[in-house]
A = this chain, B = another copy of it.
Amino acid sequence: MANSQLIKGSLQTIILKLLEENEKMYGYEITQKVKELTAGEIKITEGALYPALHKLEAEGLLSTEIQQVDNRVRKYYRLTQNGEKEVNAKMSELKAFMENMQRIINPGLNPDYNF
């Protein structure tokens, strides 16, 4: 699973959704949360995460806030208003994607998801 190609392209969706649920998070926290939620099956590498966060910030979907914790710097990210809208769009895309994959993989079945 860790090396599955399928994970590619889902990073933005994951980040945005986690920030919808959690108000504010810092990068390292996101990697740990994903590892926790997926029982270690999905590991977000920092080389992918940080550029993705910077890009989302540059696009105006995330805002940042730096905090000092024990002489250590933490950079918290939270959704902007546009970011909140984008989460909904990404969720629609994810739902459509999963339904379409079901149609291809399992023709003759009407999928039922809980979003």
Contacts of A109 in B (CB 8 A): 114
Do the beta carbons of A115 and B104 come within 8 Å of each other? no
**Min distance, Cβ A103 to any Cβ of chain B, angstroms:** 5
- Counting every copy of the chain, the complex holds 2
Do the beta carbons of B1 and A12 come within 8 Å of each other? no
Segment with Cβ contacts to B, from A60-68, A69-77, A88-96: A88-96
Q: A94-B105, A105-B115 are in contact. List 17 more A-B contacts (CB 8 A).
A: A4-B93, A5-B9, A5-B13, A6-B10, A6-B93, A6-B97, A7-B97, A8-B9, A10-B101, A17-B104, A34-B104, A37-B103, A37-B104, A37-B107, A41-B100, A98-B98, A102-B114
